[in-house]
Structure 1
Amino acid sequence: MKKLPLHIKIIIGLVLGIVWAFISSYLGWNQFTIDWIDPFGTIFIRILKAIAVPLVLLSIISGVSSLTDINKLGKLGLKSIVFYILSTVIAVGFGLTLVNLIQPGKFVNEEQRVKNRIKYELWVSENPDVPRPKDNRSFLQDEKYSELVNSAVNEEVMDSLKSAVKTKNAKVEQLAETAEESAGQSPLKFFVDMVPENIFGAFSSNSNMLQVIFFALFFGITLAMLPNSKVQGVLDFVNGANEAILKMVDIIMKAAPFFVFALLAGVIAKMADTPAEVLQIFKGLGSYSLTLLFGLLFMIFVFYPLIITMFIKKLSYKEFLKRISPAQFLAFSTSSSAATLPVTMECVEENMGVSRKISSFVLPIGATVNMDGTSMYQAVAVVFLAQLHMVDLTLGQQLTIVLTATLASIGSAAVPSAGLVMMIIVLNSVGLNPAWVAIIFPVDRILDMFRTVVNVTGDATVSTLIAQSEGELNVPKDVPANK
């Protein structure tokens, strides 16, 4: 067991966690799992998040302060942003293509979709500020639907997906308020939020990672501009502390398989009380879940490896996935790019051969602003919800989704419940009911795990490509078994 590579150990932990969750739910031990096993998973995420902020701070300061040419920093930053935006646009575009071809919303019973459309039209009529449907249809005025119109006012929006709709209204309202607040802000609000009022306050929250990055860049540039004789003590402290943080990552990862077991067992135990209920949730939203899952898996196993093998001949398809797999499996189990960041940096530096100068700058930015999986999810979910309510979105509206989802992926880092909040903003941008986010709540957690794998793989891909373009890539011949 000790000789097994880390990624194999993590896979074993994942599988055993899922098996345990189903056994415990079958035997009625869910509460035991939630009370006595799940907390270890929470502890693991907390440790990783605690390390993430000082790691970002110290690694950026260390990398930037070592630059002899400060002008190179601006070039590197511009290249990073362009690469990340390009990958996000591709992810959203592929998601939209997929959802339009498969049309998962049309797999639901036709009569139910008609009822949904009537409910949507009633909602539009009650909200005069909402743009009218652009498909020039009116089910409210059509006599053949008169009975359904009369009953629609008192009916549930989704009888066939009751488990999806029965979500706390307070949560939807809270998300809607946050989305409205975000949408009504100045276009430059993103840049204002990037500058911290109190840097120690920024250190205390992972949601303020952009502020940490801003301070680290500013501090690192200042150190680079000063003579070494004056700042050598600071540089020695930063570099030494950075090495200590990286050693902490090594220590934590030795126990990762056990923590991953606890995480997966807890996630499934919280979803439903029995295995049948878990399966029922996925059956109700199966067409949507499978469509999104196909798109996410395409990005992980086709798009990113293809890009890497095209531009970096030393890395084969199999080698790329093998070398980044520890970060991928950890991303899957934690559902957090920030929590996975320490391991992503370790994989990219030691397994892929990216220099610390590049990884310490590009990866923290990517973990904050690059959300390929989240952006694809927003595009697929919005079009699915429109199909579910028989609303035909025009090409212009779908291009609006591309633009909104891309911008949302950059600005979502400082917003609580980022994915769902940005989903509401995207729904609003094309005139759809923001309360529809409640429909996809039941499967959101498990799909979020796959979205995070896409995000982390995208970060690793972009950092490797940038390192190659800057001459800062030295791919090692092999990866140690314990990595």
Structure 2
Amino acid sequence: MKLTRNILIALFLGLITGIGFNLFAPGAFEIVDRIVFNPMGTLFINAITMLVVPLVLFSIILGTAGVSDPKKLGRIGGKTVSFYLVTTAIALTIGLSLAFLIQPGAGGGFETDAANYEANEAPPIMETLINIIPQNPIEAMADGEMLQIIAFAVLIGFALARLGDKTKGILRLVEQGNEIMMYLVKLVMYLAPLGAFALIASAIGELGLSALQAMLLYMGAVILALLVHAVITYGSVLKFIAKRNPIEFARKFVPAMVVAFSTSSSSAALPVSMRVAQQDLRVSKPVSSFVQPLGSTINMDGTAIMQAVATVFIAQVYAVSLSFGDLLTVILTATLASIGTAGVPGVGMIMLAMVLTSVGLPVEGIALVLGVDRLLDMLRTAVNITGDATCAVMVSESEANHEDDEEKMTEAS
């Protein structure tokens, strides 16, 4: 709780500092940002990103080895992927509904002639699926290709589970490696207040209040949709399916959400998210080790909300009417793209470009929302990792209930 308090205080101070520099000393901000804020923020991000690949490798190997039954592993995987796809579709529906209700682009006054954006092309879904199996796992780890690392770790974990005592030395080594990574996460978290302060001050100082005012309705629609999705969708899953108290969940998960907010990276927040899930939310290590790394790669509910609101916003700015069929196309395209474009740099904008193209809207409209995307990216990343942790809690409770039922049936027979 002391760490959580310090991080929240640092977050508030960073916000005030960024606004203060932007209003009263914009010239000095560039110097302070280059000498203080940017190095401090980069140091924190580098320190925590350094742990991601070895932590994912060790934890998924352990998680898969701990689930020695292939049927159980398939059951956990099925629940996880189903949860991510369903909640992404729900997030898109919420985003579209609130965007039509608020109508952020209907007021006019947006300059579209100068709007220009060059969209990167997303790889085909089939290519992404084929590339899940790495040709060179060492290269995949060096490049941070998370889907390939996950696939390689699952195969090693499955082999360790099947070989049993023959490889118990290697399994013990992996367990010790995982303990080392978790300890290093604890050490890095002492830097979290400084990192949060520097990253927020830099982001707010660079963004400026003029950009915020011009895009107020758009930002409001995105933020409201993120809040509704987090409270209603995730809260309902926790309350009615996992039988957990959503308020207690949120209180314990705050440190991970703040790290995600500060870094704008689900992968960077993953070590903290897993530590909180396992130690504070009582999620079993095998489930957490499998569900959360996978979620940090393919679960993008917050990003989906941004795409839904941005699509309606751009359509309204360009005075293009979207039909019901177009809305269904947005939901289907964005849901499938959340997996198809996993691991691609700038994935949010690539997915948005795909969605806009699918309904005939100009991709150049992305330039209208780029100005405030840095701040919204911070918020949607916090929602993304909250969804990962919610899924982990739900699957963990579901598996515990399943094992209890199996024990009762065995005793009865």
TM-score (norm 2): 0.93
Cα separation, 2, equivalents of 1:73 and 1:310: 24
Q: Which residue of 1 aligns with 2:193?
A: 257
- Which residue identity lines up with residue 202 of structure 2 in the other structure? G
Secondary structure of residue in 1 paired with 2:321: coil
Q: Which residue of 1 aligns with 2:3?
A: 6
Q: Which residue of 1 aligns with 2:74?
A: 74
Cα separation, 1, equivalents of 2:356 and 2:4: 38
Confirm whether residue 357 of structure 1 aligns to residue 286 of structure 2: yes
Alpha-carbon deviation of 1:295?
Answer: 0.4
- Which residue identity lines up with residue 280 of structure 1 in the other structure? S
Cα separation, 1, equivalents of 2:231 and 2:71: 36
After superposition, give the CA deviation of every residue in 1:70-119 in whole Å (9 maximum; x if it has no partner).
Answer: 2211111111101111111110111111111222111225xx6xxxxxxx
Q: Where does 1:385-400 land on structure 2 (aligned, <5 Å)?
A: 385-400=314-329
Maintained 8 Å contact 1:80/1:362: yes
Q: Which residue of 1 aligns with 2:219?
A: 289
Q: Which residue of 2 aligns with 1:221?
A: 158
Secondary structure of residue in 1 paired with 2:134: coil
Secondary structure of residue in 2 paired with 1:227: helix
Task: In structure 2, list runs of 5 or more residues that go unmatched.
Answer: 403-413
Alpha-carbon deviation of 1:472?
Answer: 7.5
After superposition, give the CA deviation of every residue in 1:106-135 in whole Å (9 maximum; x if it has no partner).
Answer: 1225xx6xxxxxxxxxxxxxxxxxxxxxxx
Cα separation, 2, equivalents of 1:308 and 1:372: 16
- Which residue identity lines up with residue 217 of structure 2 in the other structure? S
Alpha-carbon deviation of 1:227?
Answer: 3.1
Cα separation, 1, equivalents of 2:46 and 2:229: 28
Alpha-carbon deviation of 1:310?
Answer: 2.1
Q: Which residue of 1 aligns with 2:139?
A: 201
Cα separation, 2, equivalents of 1:66 and 1:310: 28
Maintained 8 Å contact 2:195/2:262: no
Secondary structure of residue in 2 paired with 1:375: helix
Maintained 8 Å contact 2:94/2:229: no
TM-score (norm 1): 0.80
Q: Which residue of 1 aligns with 2:411?
A: none
Aligned with 1:413 (options 342, 351, 355): 342
Q: Which residue of 1 aligns with 2:28?
A: 29
- Which residue identity lines up with residue 210 of structure 1 in the other structure? L
After superposition, give the CA deviation of every residue in 1:22-67 in whole Å (9 maximum; x if it has no partner).
Answer: 2333233212222122211112112211211111100010121123
Cα separation, 2, equivalents of 1:257 and 1:393: 44
After superposition, give the CA deviation of every residue in 1:178-214 in whole Å (9 maximum; x if it has no partner).
Answer: 22x53xx3x42121121112111111233x1000000
Confirm whether residue 378 of structure 1 aligns to residue 307 of structure 2: yes
Alpha-carbon deviation of 1:415?
Answer: 1.5
Aligned with 1:431 (options 360, 363, 385): 360
Secondary structure of residue in 2 paired with 1:104: coil
- Which residue identity lines up with residue 394 of structure 2 in the other structure? L
Maintained 8 Å contact 2:44/2:191: no
Q: Where does 1:289-308 land on structure 2 (aligned, <5 Å)?
A: 289-308=219-238
Cα separation, 1, equivalents of 2:212 and 2:206: 15
Maintained 8 Å contact 2:87/2:233: no
Cα separation, 2, equivalents of 1:349 and 1:357: 10
Cα separation, 2, equivalents of 1:318 and 1:416: 34
Maintained 8 Å contact 1:309/1:316: yes
After superposition, give the CA deviation of every residue in 1:151-203 in whole Å (9 maximum; x if it has no partner).
Answer: xxxxx626xxx7xx4xxx5xx32xx2x22x53xx3x42121121112111111
Alpha-carbon deviation of 1:303?
Answer: 2.8
- Which residue identity lines up with residue 6 of structure 2 in the other structure? K
Q: Which residue of 2 aligns with 1:62?
A: 62
Q: Which residue of 1 aligns with 2:406?
A: none
Secondary structure of residue in 1 paired with 2:167: helix
Maintained 8 Å contact 1:354/1:472: no
Q: Which residue of 1 aligns with 2:169?
A: 233
Maintained 8 Å contact 1:107/1:287: no
Maintained 8 Å contact 1:337/1:456: yes
Q: Where does 1:143-158 land on structure 2 (aligned, <5 Å)?
A: 157=112
Task: In structure 1, list runs of 5 or more residues that go unmatched.
Answer: 113-155, 272-277, 474-483
Cα separation, 2, equivalents of 1:205 and 1:451: 24
Maintained 8 Å contact 1:24/1:33: no
Give the CA RMSD over aligned residues: 1.7
Secondary structure of residue in 2 paired with 1:188: helix
Q: Which residue of 2 aligns with 1:266?
A: 202
Secondary structure of residue in 1 paired with 2:73: helix
Cα separation, 2, equivalents of 1:392 and 1:17: 41
Secondary structure of residue in 2 paired with 1:226: helix
Aligned length: 399
Tell me which stretches of 4 or more aligned residues in structure 1 moved more than 3 Å. Answer: none
**Which entry has the higher C-alpha Rg, 1 or 2?**
1
Percent of residue pairs bearing the same amino acid type: 40
Alpha-carbon deviation of 1:413?
Answer: 2.2
- Which residue identity lines up with residue 376 of structure 1 in the other structure? I
